[in-house]
Amino acid sequence: MYLCICRAIRERDVDAAVRAGARKPADVFRACGKRPQCGTCACDMRERIGQTVREEASQPSLMAAD
């Protein structure tokens, strides 16, 4: 599912950026090599980042495997 329509950033793109260290929407855009346009996605992106960070924290063995 797309979180950012303007720049075609999907949930899985956000998840990958979080695993690479992104902790805010600007980090995700940077990781994807894109720049924000309208900013409408920022709230949903923050929510997804938080969710992914919590999931990663609850599964430390999976993080070590990456």
Query: Which H, E and C letters describe 23-48, residue by residue?
Result: CCHHHHHHHHCCCCCCCCCHHHHHHH
Q: Contacts with ligand FES: how many residues (CB under 6 A)?
A: 10
Instruction: Note whether 62 binds ligand FES by CB under 6 A.
Output: no
Instruction: Note whether 37 binds ligand FES by CB under 6 A.
Output: yes
Instruction: Note whether 39 binds ligand FES by CB under 6 A.
Output: yes
Instruction: Note whether 5 binds ligand FES by CB under 6 A.
Output: yes
Which one, of 19, 20, 37, 56, lies nearest residue 9 by Cα? 37
Q: How far apart are CA 34 and CA 51, in angstroms?
A: 22
Instruction: Note whether 47 binds ligand FES by CB under 6 A.
Output: no
Residues that bind ligand FES (CB under 6 A): 4-7, 36-41
